[in-house]
Amino acid sequence: MSDTPILELKGLTKRFGGLTAVGDVSFKVSEGGISGLIGPNGAGKTTIFNLITGVYKVTAGEVLYRGNPIHNREPYQIADAGVTRTFQNIRLFKNLSAFDNVYTACHTSAQYGIVEALCRLPRFRREERALKEKTRGLLEIMGLSDRADVMANNLPYGLQRRLEITRALALDPKLLLLDEPAAGMNPDETLNLMKLIGEIRDRFKLSVLVIEHHMDLIMGVCEHIHVLNFGCTLADGSPEQVAGDPRVVDAYLGVEEE
């Protein structure tokens, strides 16, 4: 793990009219690390993802990716730079197969031009073969090979979540942002996902920031946790430090999970 954080938020603030959704939040994600972002409903977690990925413009503060400010860039530029995400509400092409969902995502890296594609010139055919190979490889790693031909809509919910992560991986991220990846999963699926997130980090040599409501997931997989409450930082540290912080217990751990 290098000392330079892959992501650093400095005094990040987002106001919607009179509401401060995120107020002066600062934390870092280590290169190669898995960090967690937790907090009760409405704490500002998804807003932070939207600020990192350029969906929202910041009101104040900075988002540094590998030391460079990205908060004034467009979402596609941030994705091109290697920051990809999944969404709290699954966003898949419901009527495409699992294979095609990943295959279409892989095409963002295709180099051939329209003429090469229309005339099916050698470079087009070569690249298409490579992209199909890449798609098959990703589905295999993510345990979805035997469902490649199943329409996304017909996959069990837990596998749809997995497919969304697979699509995000198809964009070759360096930093992967996961917004409640275990939402709606049963305990077995959650446990499997927990292991998978660690495997993904090791295999693809990327860094992960994960939002989660399942305390087990976040504690088991993250090396570092940032806790938000009403848009502000409540605690920041190792899972043990955070879990032992009385303010966190009061604000978050003490309340019943959804």
**Which positions lie near ligand ATP, rule CB under 6 A?**
16, 19, 21, 39, 41-47, 88
Single out the residue of 5, 12, 33, 46 in contact with Mg ion (rule: CB under 5 A). 46
Residue 239 interaction partner, one of ligand ATP, Mg ion, none, beta carbon < 5-8 Å per kind: none
In the complex, minimum distance from the CB of residue 254 to Mg ion, in angstroms, rounded to a whole number:
20
Q: In the complex with ligand ATP, which residue's Cβ is closer, 19 or 119? A: 19
Q: In the complex with ligand ATP, which residue's Cβ is closer, 18 or 67? A: 18
Q: In the complex with ligand ATP, which residue's Cβ is closer, 150 or 183? A: 183
Stretch that binds Mg ion, among 42-50, 92-100, 139-147, 238-246 (CB under 5 A): 42-50
The token pair at 194 is 């927990």
Q: In the complex with ligand ATP, which residue's Cβ is closer, 43 or 169? A: 43
Footprint on residues 156-195 left by Mg ion (CB under 5 A) = none
The token pair at 22 is 């995120």
In the complex, minimum distance from the CB of residue 54 to Mg ion, in angstroms, rounded to a whole number:
17
Specify the pairing of strand 60-65 against strand 5-16. Answer: antiparallel
CB-based burial label for 129 (10 Å; 0-12, 13-18, 19+): exposed
DSSP per-residue codes, 103-143: HHHHGGG----HHHHHTT-HHHHHHHHHHHHHHHHHHHHTT
Nearest to 65 by CA among 83, 84, 77, 45: 83
